[in-house]
Amino acid sequence: MTSQTRDPVLAKLSLLDRFLPVWILAAMAAGLILGRVVPGVQGALDSVKIGQTSLPIALGLLLMMYPVLAKVRYEDMGHVTGDRKLLWLSLLLNWLIGPALMFTLAWVFLADQPALRTGLIVIGLARCIAMVLIWNDLACGDSEAGALLVAINSVFQIVAYALLGTFYLRILPGWLGLDTQDVQFSTWEITKAVLIFLGIPLVAGYLTRRVGLRTKGKAWYEGTFIPRIAPFALYGLLFTIVVMFALQGDAIISDPFSVVQIAIPLLAYFAIMWGVSFALGARSGLGYPKTATLAFTAAGNNFELAIAVSIGVWGVTSGQALTGVIGPLIEVPALVALVYVSLWLRRRFFR
């Protein structure tokens, strides 16, 4: 019996996606070694900057975002008539319940760690637009509905991210009497980071898709072009991780427990958010495919954007940026496990 027969879910993942946690760990190790072997790396990286971000890191972040946004089916955004219940549930879960849940978990688990706490909240505001399509397909969700929700989340983040960041990082803690004097930022800094690291690749991805579909057709664009550029998102992520760990390796080695502190609320978030979303979809009569799509699009996060905002606002050596990097390391195995749970629920409760 082959491994593909034993484990059809993992067999459907590409080699890059299947071993994503391994690549991330390898990039972390490479960064730590680079920081020790080349002590002058920070000065070289900071010689040319875009705002507060060095040019090499900025290029890595843009490379990380572009293939993801070139894959989004923007043309499906107009097809909402038959999916209005799904659409409203998705907006409720993604933009109200999800950020509120992550805010709560961040303050419960990391109240005395302001940088990590802020990084976790930044992740909660970045709704998934990338690997959620993989999880959705593996769980036999509705691919068209998934493409629609991803397209809406992509555009909505441009409008809402900075405002929600100000609300959850400054306004809401003030209402609740929580001390946030140790969290320094401005709404404009978040807005600028979103416009640069999401806005530029969003426009580039939209234009690429529009031109590609018109000149070459959908079959070529999604069957040939997208598979060719897709790995560059991972290359950009791994490059960013190498640089980050080269610059803050000593701080990480001296406090490895911070990784565990970040992992615990993230695991709780994935489990709670996915469970609530799946139950809500099932109770609303969406049927299994759209219920699975609702659950995975609500539970996943756009770690690429969270990393870009954290680096752009607080710097590459910040605890906020470290939290963003730990995110996909936890997300991949967690959501693969939830794919198995989803398929089991389909066999048990859905026809």
Tens digit of pLDDT at every position of the chain (351 positions): 444 445 666 666 667 777 777 888 888 888 888 877 877 766 666 666 666 677 777 888 888 889 888 888 887 766 554 578 899 999 999 999 999 999 999 999 999 999 999 999 999 999 887 678 788 888 999 988 888 888 888 888 888 899 999 999 999 998 999 887 667 778 888 888 888 888 898 899 999 999 999 999 999 999 999 989 988 888 888 888 887 777 766 666 666 788 889 999 999 999 999 999 999 999 999 999 999 999 999 998 888 889 889 888 888 778 898 898 888 888 888 998 999 999 999 998 886
Place of tokens 């427990």: 257
| Residue 78, pLDDT score | 61
| Residue 38, pLDDT score | 77
Based on its alpha-carbon atoms, the radius of gyration of the chain, rounded to whole angstroms, reads 20
- Residue 301: φ, ψ to 5°: -135, 155
Domain definitions of the chain by residue range? 82-192+251-349
CATH 1.10.1270.20 fits 82-192+251-349, yes or no: no
Two tokens, residue 339: 């794919």
Place of tokens 């293939």: 67
| Residue 62, pLDDT score | 87
Two tokens, residue 67: 């293939």
CA 188, CA 50: separation in Å to the nearest integer? 15
CA 84, CA 282: separation in Å to the nearest integer? 15
Burial label for 184, CB within 10 Å (0-12, 13-18, 19+), is exposed
- Residue 214: φ, ψ to 5°: -75, -35
**Strand, helix or coil at 176?**
coil
| Residue 164, pLDDT score | 93
Two tokens, residue 117: 């706490």
| Residue 3, pLDDT score | 43
Give the CA angle between residues 264, 269, 274 to the nearest 5°: 140
